[in-house]
């Protein structure tokens, strides 16, 4: 049985990737998120059978459950897309510690664990897409833990791509700039007192980001910045000192 696994499939980028995977003639797509009804509704929009896995990936038991299911079904995992993630904007003392730890657990630990759990079931010409962010390229004041969690996933992805190249398993770190039409920004802005990052100029659309990321992953690229501003930020973070990039992001976040 050939499958894809998509985390964060109930909404936003994850759901867009399910639409793209629907054209891949897979036997099943395993879709993971907490909102079961949204996952069930997705079945009406795609022809590939979906296996609904209602899991909270912050819980370690969810990772055990996925590992057990893989052991039981022994599928060939042709695609793994780790899109589940969230961020919280705010000053260091505006965001509850529990939210900071959940961000690390979901964006970093869960994505890495699911990759490790899936790898024994992947053969040559399989693809892994780790949804990182341009936030991975530099430290970001008032989005500090989010940026750090994405830097972790980004660095893991890049190193893993090198380790897996002899097995011809392709790893792509997808690094979008702001996306305007997913659930991400409203969730990120929930720190009520926060006055940082209130406007999101040049934000991209989820369908464009997913399509560009998908095409680039198919070309076996190890990093994709799927919009002009994502490319610009990546280049700037390579050339300019991070101290200057942080000053610029402070100016930018008050726009
Ligand atoms: N939107 C942006 O501006 C932007 C920019 C750069 C990178 N990204 C990254 O892109 C990825 C997708 O985000 P998005 O923009 O599509 O946001 P989104 O619409 O909020 O989607 C996030 C997905 O993650 C799932 N999720 C959240 N917490 C979870 C948990 N504890 N366990 C399992 N699933 C969980 C959500 O499903 P449930 O709520 O149903 O669990 C949802 O399906 C994220 O990794 C994000 O960091 C987004």
Quick check: 132 and 81 in contact, CB under 8 A?
Answer: no
Output the pLDDT for position 202.
85
Query: From ligand 1's centre to the CA of 103, what distance in Å?
Result: 11
User: Which atom number of ligand 1 is nearest to the Cα of residue 176?
Assistant: 6
- Core vs surface per residue 186-215: b (16+ CB within 10 A) or e: eebbebeebebbeeeeebbebeebbbbbbe
Distance 48 CA to ligand 1 centre (A): 22
Atom of ligand 1 lying closest to residue 14 CA: 16
Q: At what angle do helices 111-118 and 60-73 cross, to 10 degrees?
A: 20
Q: What is the pLDDT along the chain (255 residues), one digit of tens a residue?
A: 999 999 999 999 999 999 999 999 999 999 999 999 999 999 999 999 999 999 999 999 999 999 999 999 999 999 999 999 999 999 999 999 999 999 999 999 999 999 999 999 999 999 999 999 999 999 999 999 999 999 999 999 999 999 999 999 999 999 999 999 999 999 998 766 567 777 788 899 999 999 999 999 999 999 999 999 999 999 999 999 999 999 988 887 766
Closest-lying ligand 1 atom to the alpha carbon of residue 203: 3
User: What spacing in Å lies between the alpha carbon of 34 and ligand 1's midpoint?
Assistant: 11
H or E element in which residue 199 lies: none
pLDDT at 199: 76
Domains detected in the chain: 2-253 (3.40.50.720)
Q: What is the pTM of this model?
A: 0.97
Give ligand 1 pocket residues (Cβ under 6 A): 7-8, 10-14, 33-35, 38, 56-58, 83-87, 106, 131, 133, 176, 178-179, 182-185, 187
Whole-angstrom distance, CA of residue 243 vs CA of residue 140: 10
Sheet bearing 76-82, strands edge to edge = 50-54, 28-33, 2-7, 76-82, 126-131, 169-174, 223-224
CA-nearest residue, atom 44 of ligand 1? 85
Q: How far, in Å, from the CA of 184 to the mean position of ligand 1?
A: 6
Which of 7, 10, 58, 84 for mutating ligand 1's site (highest number of atoms within 8 Å of CB)? 84
């Amino acid at each position: 049985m050939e499958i894809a696994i998509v985390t964060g499939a109930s909404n936003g980028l994850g759901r867009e990737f399910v639409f793209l995977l629907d054209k891949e003639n897979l036997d099943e797509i395993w879709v993971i998120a907490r909102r079961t009804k949204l996952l069930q509704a997705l079945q009406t929009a795609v022809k590939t059978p979906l296996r609904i896995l209602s899991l909270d990936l912050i819980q370690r038991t969810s990772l055990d459950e996925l590992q057990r299911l893989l052991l039981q079904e022994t599928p060939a995992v042709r695609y793994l897309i780790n899109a589940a993630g969230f961020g919280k904007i705010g000053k260091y003392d505006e965001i509850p510690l529990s939210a900071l730890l959940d961000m690390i657990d979901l964006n970093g630990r869960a994505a890495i664990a699911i990759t490790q759990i899936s790898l024994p079931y992947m053969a040559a010409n399989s693809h892994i897409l780790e949804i990182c962010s341009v936030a991975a390229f530099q430290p970001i004041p008032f989005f500090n833990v989010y940026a750090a969690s994405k830097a972790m996933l980004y660095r893991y992805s890049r190193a893993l791509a090198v380790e897996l190249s002899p097995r011809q398993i392709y790893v792509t770190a997808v690094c979008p700039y702001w996306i305007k039409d997913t659930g991400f920004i409203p969730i990120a802005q929930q720190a009520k007192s926060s006055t940082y990052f209130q406007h999101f100029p040049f934000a991209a659309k989820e369908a464009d980001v997913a399509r560009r990321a998908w095409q680039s992953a198919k070309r076996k690229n190890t990093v994709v910045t799927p919009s002009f501003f994502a490319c610009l930020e990546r280049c700037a973070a390579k050339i300019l000192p991070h101290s200057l990039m942080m000053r610029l992001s402070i100016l930018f976040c008050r726009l």
